[in-house]
Amino acid sequence: MTARIFADTNLIIYTESDDGDKTARAMKIIEASPVISVQVINEAVNVLTRKYGFTLAEAHVIAESLLDLCEVVPVEVATVREAIRLAIRLAKRYSLSHWDSLIVAAALRADCDTLYSEDMQHGQVFDNRLTVINPFR
């Protein structure tokens, strides 16, 4: 069985930056068509327009390309419920934000093995099956 990879929003942002090695690493991951959630697309549009000066039209072009390139999974009621349970269960060990819990829950629901993220603890394992990898380490 092929490993399933989930990409967090920060990888999308790095593909649009001029950050040398980080940009190259992020591009390689995104070009491999990882799983992302609709949350990742929406966060990317928000960050690109609010923090990086992209026009909404430019951000929408990027969003459209992500829809075509990646496997996009929904954030449904069940995903939100799982994120809440995950956050409650792990609150003592890890301080996950609600948004990070949604990312983890979406990756788990999509049966991913690896979650590429710069924002979470490298090597952290969720439910004995999803490992966080910081590709920029």
pLDDT for res 59: 98
pLDDT for res 82: 86
pLDDT for res 6: 98
Host domain of residue 117: 5-133
- The pTM (predicted TM-score) of the whole model is 0.92
pLDDT for res 91: 60
Coil, helix or strand at residue 129? coil
Taking 50 as the pLDDT cut, the residues of the chain under it are none
Domains: count for the chain: 1
Q: Over 73-99, what HEC string results? A: ECCCHHHHHHHHHHHHHHCCCCCCCHH
31: CATH: 3.40.50.1010
